[in-house]
Amino acid sequence: MNQNYPMKKMIDEKGHLLNESFNEQIEEGFVKELYFHMLRIRTFDRKAINLQRQGRLGTYAPFEGQEASQVGSALALKEEDWVFPTYRDHGATLTFGKSMAKTFLYWNGRLEGCVSPKTRNIFPPAVPIATQLPHAAGAAWAEKRKGTQNIAIVYFGDGATSEGDFHEGLNFATVFKVPAIFFNQNNGFAISVPTEKQMNSETIAQKAMAYGMPGVRVDGNDCFAVYFETQKAIEYARAGHGPTLIEAVTWRKGAHTTADDPSKYRNASQGENIVDPIYRFELFMKNYDYWNEEWIQATKEEISNEIDAAIEEMENFPPPNVEDVFNHVFAEMPDQLVEQKDAYLAYLGRQ
């Protein structure tokens, strides 16, 4: 492995601090906050898969196994910052403050699911691979020109680093020294293609060298390491030094989406030696006396109630307005589209 980009970590696979001095940076409230959000998004993720199997959601992209990467990075942000997610980063957007009901609506094919809270700058999830990287660089440049301290973080997978938008985004960001964090979650597969078959670099972090920007490789299953490395990159950006590329090495436990069968391209034994990020964090909590069974049970109940309420809100949401399909494409609707709209509305009227 490239020695210039060692894996940064703070706790080992058995939940022990690798350096006891780290303990000075950790408080009980912070530990509980990290655990709460990881447990919350995993519970959401598993519930969403169940809803999809029941026909109550559309095709869904699960993220189980990547909770530490998404929570650790998102919690390092300030409310005024920008988040540019992919279709697999709803764990990060939920942590950053997006409505759970709106997130369910997105996976039900509703336009309303793309709308972020007025108090948060969250772009709609990018389904085309890597297109959001130049967008994030542009938003960060705008914040720099306005003289703010706001930064933009953009999420993407290992497959995105083989797209032109990746290189364009990094190049623009470094030329203009914009306050951006390029946060890669290397989960081992670009859909069905393993990382080693879609790039020849030893690491993704080392790609930063070509653009003259810092590159960091972090254990993406260590929530502490992700949080503090992201925080360092954010402070570097806010100070006006420019962007950072972070490679969080993690593992996608399940399928690429609920329409995918990973057994076609992945052995069942793959990933068995990777310690689950939440289990690993639980070991840490037990090792250092942060574990409180009463609090854990109350937290699980709180999360369950929130998810039930979000599902109820999603399923009771007003039906979509079919005219939206036609009304928001052109400033002046072409005659052909007017005919299609009229024909469709007439068809609905006959039902």
Catalytic residues: 252, 256, 265
Q: Output b/e per residue, 46-85; b: 16+ Cβ within 10 A.
A: ebbbebbeeeebeebbbbbbbbbbbbbbbbbbeeebbbbb
Return the beta strands (E) in 212-312 as ranges.
Answer: 215-219, 244-249
Rounded Cα distance between 66 and 204, Å, is 17
Angle ∠(282,311,68) on CA atoms, nearest 5? 25
Rounded Cα distance between 216 and 200, Å, is 18
Residues 6+ away with beta carbon under 8 Å from 52: 58, 59, 60, 107, 258
Phi-psi region of 147 (alpha: psi -120 to 50; beta: other; left: phi over 0): left
Please tell me whether residue 149 adopts helix, strand or coil conformation. Answer: coil
Please tell me whether residue 121 adopts helix, strand or coil conformation. Answer: strand
Helix axes 67-74, 28-53, angle to 10 degrees: 130
